[in-house]
Amino acid sequence: MARIIDGKAIAVQVSAELAVRIRRLRDQGIVPKLGIILTGGFVPSQTYVRNKERACAKVGIEVETSRFGEDVSFDVLRRQVEKWNQDPVLDGMIVQLPLPRGLDDAALLEYVDPTKDADGLTSTSLGRLVSGKPLFTPATPSGIVELLVRSGISIPGKRVVIVGRGKLVGKPLANMLLLRGAQADATVTVCHTKTHDLAALCRSAEILVVAAGVPQLVTGDMVSEGVVVIDAGTNSIEGKLVGDVDFASVEPKASAITPVPGGVGPMTVAMLLANVVRAAEARSRTDTKDRT
């Protein structure tokens, strides 16, 4: 039977460590602050933002959420981003996606100051990651790496297969795992739903990450005994939240596996907070330097 990787418990550990760092910052007069742009009435987005606001409050991060209607213009959102770019006490910002129909999310993200890119999604952030000099990395891939490391699962040298090539998980995660170091140095294969003989490639994995957005895409006959499975999928079937992995058939063959919910999801929020704290610590160092 597989060991269940408890993302909720690990997220609590990460948050507790962040709270200590935040107290140190507050002792120096620095209050970490996150700005969130929320548009329209998309219910999942409203829920995600509430979760982020609550998580920030628990560890001591101040949050400013700017809410806009479905009919908001691109220029109004751009001006909000540019305002926050100039705010010396706002450490990070996120644009909650998706934006209303007709608005270009990639174009808006390009206005975000890379030093405040808490989601790690600007082309500058992603380019730095590819070049091997990351500043902020996207929260979900960071959470996946943290889950593996804190669960005692060694990454260097492992054959990692990622099913999914999206800009939020697959692409950045592949580049993170290709970096040099104790939390990377993996041999990475990126697959997707058009990959020929996907099952054979999945069976080659020592660590399998599934983030394709297809409910229960990976089944028990597609994995090898002893594989570590990270399910980053979030899908709703008849009101029930399920992942991209068929848990019932895969779990008996895996050595470790993340559940949905309760696996990757809580870590996404925790690693977003970590990016904000990292930015606030950079502000603290700059303030100290300016005073000396």
Per the annotation, the verdict on 183 as an active-site residue is no
* DSSP line for 10-46: HHHHHHHHHHHHHHHHHHTT---EEEEEEES--HHHH
Q: Has 246 been annotated as catalytic?
A: no
Tokens of 152: 């005692």
Which residue of the set 33, 52, 116, 171 is catalytic? 52
Beta pairing partners, 242: 235
What whole-number distance in Å separates Cα of residue 134 and Cα of residue 156? 19
Residue 174 main-chain phi, psi, to 5 deg: -55, -45
Tokens 């996946």 correspond to what residue?
144
Whether 172 and 289 have beta carbons less than 8 Å apart is answered as: no
Burial 191-214 (b: 16+ CB within 10 A, else e): beeebeebeebbbebbbbbbbbbb
Compute the 3-state secondary structure of the chain and give helix, strand, coil in percent, each to the nearest 5.
45, 15, 40
SS3 205: coil
- Token pair 């082309």 is at which residue? 123
Using alpha carbons, select from 68, 82, 33, 69 the residue that is nearest to residue 53.
33
**57: buried, middle or exposed (CB in 10 Å: 19+, 13-18, 0-12)?**
exposed
Candidate list 119, 231, 244, 246, residue with the active-site label: 119
**Beta strands 92-95; 33-39: pairing state:** parallel
Q: Do 250 and 221 contact (CB within 8 A), yes or no? A: no
Query: Residues 33, 80, 91, 96: which is the catalytic one?
Result: 96
119 a catalytic residue:
yes
Residues identified as active-site = 52, 96, 119
